[in-house]
Amino acid sequence: MTAGLPPVLCDADSHIMELPDFLRQHADPDLRDALPRIGMDTGRRRETVGEAIARGHHSAETVAALTARGGDLLAGPKDYHALGAFSGDERRLALDLLGLRRQIVFPSFAVVPVFYGTQGPALTYGAARALNRAIAAFCAGDARLSGVGLLPIDDPALAQDEIEHIIRLGLRAVWLPHQGLPGYAFRPRSLEPVWARMAEAGLVLACHIMPPPDVARQMAATGEIVPFEMLDGDDAPRPDQVVFATERVEIFLSRLIFDGVLQRYPGLHCLIAEFGGGWVPGMMRRLDAAAAQIFRGAGRAPARRPSEQILDQCLFTPYHHEDVGAMIRASDSRLYAFSTDYPHIEGGRDPVASFDATLGGCTEAERAAFYAGNFLRIFGE
């Protein structure tokens, strides 16, 4: 990354690139053969990265070449080709080169098979448990890495069991399926013990961008195929991922607010990752207006307005091409956090430089909050 890094830099969104047997390797023996293998697209360097995937790490020559990039690591190869894409030992080296004090680690491709590719609660929750073990293993041995587990929520009793397992593994956040699950209606009050335990244990509730629902895909379809190489070249996320991404997570957040979850558990924090941030100020105004209408004369208005609950408990990661300074001026500096999306291509080649270009009108305190302070407020030192 660019010279002149902030004194403290925390990354609120990074990923592991799962290997084919990511789930099976960490599954209970009786479920191992029933779990799906992870598909992958290794792009134009398939021939060279295939050997690294088979080994579980890059060659010594590749590690040396990537390490030689120093702080310019983000401008180098992405996805499976990146340093530390699927090796925890390499990721620790990447943290050193990037100057990161802390980094949140999400899964990548294993999310869809866990949430949507398994049949029956035993297999779904067994797949989630395998993934959670795998994330914990990747992060083990370095306190700078904080893993994000997965939690299906269609069976409240099994969800409670898995929360306890996540806590024992030492994961720091829990990714819930904000887009919903097949045949399941999100009922926040049925998960009351889950919210209570998460708040008590300091587990952060995480939502992350996912492939959009079918209607969004249909509306965004252009009839053209965008090759992986083109995306790798210009760091552009797909249009259907960006334009329609926030709809479902806004609905999910509104349910947490209007069902009183955030009000009842002020210690429950939320990380809303890779949805960008430009939509947040408008959402807060809309929810305040809706609350004023819904609770008018009802005598049951929450003690805090929706915008206050979001400000107190939620954190959003802007895209590197967005104007974070404008977002701060339109809302509050406590809402936004720096991220690299490493090693995904959407994170950009020099996110600090990109963000700094929009933070010129902000105070040093606001800049420090964006790059580290807000992260540490949610996740702790």
The residues near 115 (Cβ < 8 Å, ≥ 6 apart) are 124, 150, 152, 177, 181
Position 40 scores a pLDDT of 64
Mean pLDDT of the chain: 89
* Residues 190, 187: Cα–Cα separation, whole Å: 6
Q: Where does the pLDDT of residue 237 fall: very low under 50, low under 70, confident under 90, or very high at 90 and above?
A: low
Instruction: Kindly write down the DSSP assignment for every residue of 284-305, as one continuous string.
Output: HHHHHHHHHHHTTTTS---SS-
Percent of the chain with pLDDT over 70: 87
Position 231 scores a pLDDT of 44
Strand-pair category, 145-150 with 102-106: parallel
* Residues 341, 153: Cα–Cα separation, whole Å: 26
Rounded to a whole number of angstroms, the CA Rg of the chain reads: 20
Percent of the chain with pLDDT over 90: 71
Q: Are 317 and 328 in contact (CB under 8 A)?
A: no
Q: Are 78 and 343 in contact (CB under 8 A)?
A: yes
CA distances (Å), origin 151, targets 58, 207, 256: 31, 11, 16
Position 123 scores a pLDDT of 94
Identity of the residue numbered 101:
R
pLDDT digits (tens, 9 = 90+) for 247-268: 889 999 999 999 999 999 999 9
pLDDT digits (tens, 9 = 90+) for 170-192: 999 999 998 877 677 788 999 99
Does 343 sit behind a cis peptide bond, omega within 30 degrees of 0 on the bond before it?
yes
Position 215 scores a pLDDT of 46
SS3 208: strand
Position 224 scores a pLDDT of 59
* Residues 111, 207: Cα–Cα separation, whole Å: 12
Task: Count CB neighbours of 296 within 10 A.
Answer: 8
User: Which domains does the chain possess?
Assistant: 10-379 (3.20.20.140)
Q: What's the pTM?
A: 0.92
| Burial of 185 from C-beta contacts in 10 A (0-12 / 13-18 / 19+) | exposed
Position 213 scores a pLDDT of 53
> Minimal CA–CA distance to 109: which of 227, 34, 18?
18
Arithmetic mean of pLDDT, 291-297:
84
pLDDT digits (tens, 9 = 90+) for 98-135: 999 999 999 999 998 888 877 889 999 999 999 999 99
Return the minimum-mean-pLDDT range out of 61-70, 84-93, 274-283, 295-304: 295-304
Position 82 scores a pLDDT of 95
Arithmetic mean of pLDDT, 200-214:
86
Position 296 scores a pLDDT of 78
CA distances (Å), origin 83, targets 19, 91, 101, 267, 299: 14, 6, 17, 35, 56
Position 54 scores a pLDDT of 80
* Residues 133, 111: Cα–Cα separation, whole Å: 14
